């Protein structure tokens, strides 16, 4: 029985994604409850400046904590592999700004 369970774990999962929608987001917010996480995705049209209008949330994903932990691991592995090839991803936008020589601040 244990041998059969091990075989089932290693079998690839088949998915049907022909009806999947694709969206772009540069903003996310995570909230939740003791039973689930709620992840909202949206587009922040002014990521560098003061945004005087609210960010439109276009997608919401609700996950239980087991799925959230699997997602966390998958994202961690994917980002780690990307950084191994392309270098560190700096998430602080102020550290990514390139200052030109002779420009006044």
Number of separate domains in the chain: 1
Is 39 within the bounds of a domain? yes
pLDDT at 6 over 70: no
For residue 32, give both structure tokens.
């939740």
Is 61 within the bounds of a domain? yes
Is 101 within the bounds of a domain? no
Segment 17-70, tens digit of pLDDT:
999 999 999 999 999 999 999 999 999 888 776 777 888 899 999 999 999 999
Is 2 within the bounds of a domain? no
Res. 1 pLDDT band, cuts 50 70 90: low
Please give the distance of CA 65 from its chain centroid, rounded to a whole number.
16
Is 96 within the bounds of a domain? no
Whole-model pTM: value is 0.70
Is 26 within the bounds of a domain? yes
Is 82 within the bounds of a domain? yes
**Structural domain that includes position 62:** 21-89
pLDDT at 7 over 90: no
Is 25 within the bounds of a domain? yes
Which residue did the predictor score with more confidence, 94 or 88?
A: 88
Determine whether 91 is exposed, middle or buried from the number of CB atoms within 10 Å of its CB (0-12, 13-18, 19+): exposed
């Amino acid at each position: 029985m244990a041998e059969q369970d091990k075989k089932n774990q290693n079998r690839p999962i088949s998915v049907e994604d022909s009806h999947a929608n694709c969206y772009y987001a540069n903003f996310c917010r995570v909230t939740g409850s003791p039973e689930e996480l709620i992840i909202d995705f949206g587009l922040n049209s002014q990521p560098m400046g003061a945004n005087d209008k609210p960010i439109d949330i276009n997608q919401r994903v609700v996950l239980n904590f087991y799925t959230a932990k699997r997602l966390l691991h998958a994202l961690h592995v994917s980002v780690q592999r990307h950084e191994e090839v392309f270098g560190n991803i700096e998430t602080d936008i102020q550290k990514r700004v390139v200052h030109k020589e002779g420009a006044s601040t």
